[in-house]
Amino acid sequence: MPANTKYLNPKIGNRIATISAAILGGFIVSISVHLALAVWLDRVAVIITSTFTAFILWVLLMMVAFMGKSGLKTWGIYLLVSIIFIALTYWGGTGKFLNR
């Protein structure tokens, strides 16, 4: 049984943006979240648990990207969230790394 055409997106640009946001954007958000956690919490514990939780978060962010209607909007949200967590990483890391 073929797919219903009202659910298919005919624009190739939106499809590419959605797929790239799912793969690359989800990975960037997942890694930036765990970097911020490593700076603010116990670094060793976060690195050990991030081997599992980073993958789980990445898969969840992939599913969220495909649920949205616009790939560019998903990219924008993922980049905004990444910038916030990178800023938290920078803010929490200034001075900490010099003293260790």
- Asked whether the beta carbons of 30 and 52 are under 8 A apart, the reply is no
Q: Mean pLDDT of all residues in the chain?
A: 85
Q: Is the pLDDT of residue 100 over 70?
A: no
Q: Which domain holds residue 35?
A: 15-93
| Residue matched to tokens 């209607």 | 69
Structural domain count, the chain: 1
Averaged pLDDT for residues 43-71 = 89
> 65 lies in a domain?
yes
Q: Is residue 32 part of a domain?
A: yes
Considering the domain boundaries, does residue 1 fall inside one? no
Which helix (H) or strand (E) segment holds residue 91: the answer is helix 71-93
More confident site: 7 or 82: 82
Q: Is residue 10 included in any domain, yes or no? A: no
- Asked if residue 64 belongs to a domain, the reply is yes
Mean pLDDT of 4-29: 84
In a domain, 3, yes or no: no
Span 59-82, pLDDT tens digits: 999 999 988 888 899 999 999 999
**CA–CA dist 27, 57 (Å, integer):** 9
Please tell me the pTM assigned to this model.
Answer: 0.79
- Please state, as a whole number, how many other Cβ atoms lie within 10 Å of the Cβ of residue 1: 3
67 part of a folded domain:
yes
| DSSP 8-state secondary structure symbol assigned to residue 6 | G
In a domain, 87, yes or no: yes
The helix (run of H) or strand (run of E) holding residue 30 is helix 26-40
